Amino acid sequence: MLQNSLDLTQDAVDITRQICDIESVSGNETALADAIEAAVRSVGHLEVDRHGDTVVARTNLGRSRRVVIAGHIDTVPLNENLPTRFETRTAGEVLWGRGTVDMKAGVAVQLKLAAEIAAPSLDVTWIWYDHEEVSADLNGLRKLAEARPDLMQGDFAILGEPSNGAVEGGCNGTLRVDVITRGVRAHSARSWVGHNAIHDAAAVLQILQDYRPSDVNVEGLVFREGLNAVGISGGIAGNVIPDECRITINYRFAPSKTVEHAIAHVKDLFAGFEVVITDQAGGASPGLDAVVAKEFLEATGLSPKAKYGWTDVARFWSLGIPAVNYGPGDPLLAHHDDEHVPLDQIRDGELRLRNWLTAS
């Protein structure tokens, strides 16, 4: 086998190890995208397109319904956690290393099934995309939606984000703002001449301390919200009273709220303070009342729960496509230096997806 080539006839665990060992930190996905493209182009029942470092493979069997199954191929930076290795843990055998959880085990399952299932019960669009772990303007799925929205159309979508083998419907939205306090500079030896902006930040922090986030039921799933300071900056020099302080706040809001509702809520909480919006992304409702979604849950035998974090399911939701997160790996281990995935979870995920895609 040529260097960086993939053997999709192997077990999904072995495919996971193959693709993890092709380093693909965000911005360096080309080698893995090349390997994936070459592997799926050799599969006769798939039509393959490539957009940058995003690879799309589709069946076109004339089925009445289509599902989109996607996964990102980039990882966060390494920290001496490649190459991968097998380990025995208390709970069983695992594959350790960068990307095993987030989210190359899910991608491996997808590649295995894409190659082997020539006649699925639904038409399938498989998407493996780049630049998920960095700024949204670089996201390969976003670029695909803008350039080739036809390649993302379907009745239902599954994103292979790690979910511990559970189904997580929809996702919370996210809003990031800077709450700014203003003061007057002065020499710290004559502080009474000025006004300390950092001291005024205490009132902002007290609002956050007193805030009680909501648990919001959306279509039968309970989404937990959160409002937290995630950064604070201020100060000019060790002998100067600061005239500005910025408290960066992240609001995770239920998908029943729009971005506009979230902004209004935050501005109301911090009325009297200067509030600057720095980042925003709407959530996604579960959409589990869709017929295809119900069939997926029935076939896999899994009960859905809410996805608290923001994921790219929101991109599908914005196109009118209900979407869930479903993949092997504990999301608490995503980006962790001890990132590892249970081998049984990879194989179980493959089996459940296979059963659904081949159900008559």
The residues assigned a catalytic role are 74, 132
For residues 179 and 275, is the Cβ–Cβ distance under 8 A? yes
For residues 102 and 75, is the Cβ–Cβ distance under 8 A? yes
Which residue intervals of the chain are DSSP H helices?
Answer: 12-20, 30-41, 105-116, 140-147, 197-210, 259-269, 291-300, 313-318, 343-357
Question: Which pair of tokens denotes residue 45?
Answer: 């029942």
Q: End-to-end CA distance of the chain: give it in Å, rounded.
A: 36
Q: Residue length, the chain?
A: 360
Residue given tokens 């295995």 in the structure block: 112
Beta strand ranges found along 183-289 (DSSP E): 186-187, 215-218, 221-224, 226-234, 240-241, 244-253, 274-281
